[in-house]
Amino acid sequence: MKGKVALEEAFALPRFAEKTRWWASMFAVDLDKHAAEMNDIEKIRVEYMDKYGVGYSLLSYTAPGIQDIRNPKKHNCITLHKFKGALVNDTRRSGPDGDDMVFYDSPAWGMFRSTVQELDVSFYLHPRNPTGTQYDNFAQGVSLHILGMVINAYSFDLWRINHWFEDVEKPHGLDCKKAIRDYFTQNIWITTSGNFSTLTLKCCIEEIGADRILFSIDNPFESFDDACPWFDGLDLDHMTKRKIAKELGSFKDEDA
């Protein structure tokens, strides 16, 4: 399929190349290759996109990015610089050892949530790298955070969460304006980023629908060569694939 949109692709500023190499030493087989791909925007990345049929990539500055800056001026990023939204690496950390977790569902972050809603852009909750003595599993950390904001992030748990919150707890005063499942099917999207499992994707399609799933690669942590042939070869009808990978606006090969 040509014209795919890739939602969660990482980059780092070239002046931090040595830091990128240091971080890559924890997982990358080829440090030079990973650093070159991470620091590149216009050459290597575009060559991959052309080769594997990706018409549009949304790039996010890799962790920790600007998350430790007190006021990153999100409003200016969106209105002045035409950013597409905000990617946040799970909780903020505070305290002397970096072990205190700050969640975005707290009243202190009400203005941030209101600004996201006002600007009508996406808030991408992404796992974070370990800090201090906290070494949460990627999925566990984000799931806990989403649960605090509305609902558990595992679609496999959706029936049980919905059952307990709606049928058991809500009659006793759970303060939700919608049914728990409705938040997942109306306010939350999930992506294929770094998880190219056909069985998992089909389960998510059945549970929440293709309308709430978006194609992603997670390049350069994951490769175009793993993600794109997998997606292109899926035994799904054309409309389902289009919903997941293409219906996001005008871009190269959008009608291919």
For the chain, which residues make up each domain, given as ranges?
Answer: 4-150+188-245
For domain 4-150+188-245, the question of CATH label 3.40.1280.10 is answered with no
Residue 198: per-residue pLDDT:
96
| E strand or H helix that includes residue 29 | none
Residue 31: per-residue pLDDT:
86
Of 91, 87, 122, residue with least CA distance to 218: 87
Can you give the pLDDT of all 256 residues of the chain as single tens digits?
999 999 889 888 888 788 888 878 877 888 889 889 999 988 999 999 999 999 999 888 886 566 555 455 555 676 666 777 777 777 776 667 666 777 777 777 777 778 878 888 777 777 766 655 666 555 666 666 566 555 434 455 667 666 776 666 555 555 667 777 787 788 888 899 989 999 999 988 988 899 999 999 999 989 999 999 999 999 999 999 999 998 666 666 777 6
Question: Of 176, 203, 204, 228, which one is the catalytic site residue?
Answer: 176
Contact criterion met (CB below 8 Å) for 88 and 70: no
Burial category of 192 from C-beta neighbours within 10 Å (exposed 0-12, middle 13-18, buried 19 and up): buried
Residue 187: per-residue pLDDT:
81
Contact criterion met (CB below 8 Å) for 60 and 124: yes
Q: How many CA atoms lie within 13 A of 43 on its CB side?
A: 4
CA distance 219 to 78: 23
Residue 131: per-residue pLDDT:
58
**What DSSP designation does 134 have?**
B
**pTM for the full model?**
0.70
CA 253 to chain centre: 23
3-state secondary structure at position 204: helix
- Tokens 């005008």 — which residue? 250
Q: Phi-psi bin for 104: left (phi > 0), alpha (psi -120 to 50), beta?
A: alpha
Catalytic-residue membership of 176: yes
The amino acid that residue 56 corresponds to is Y
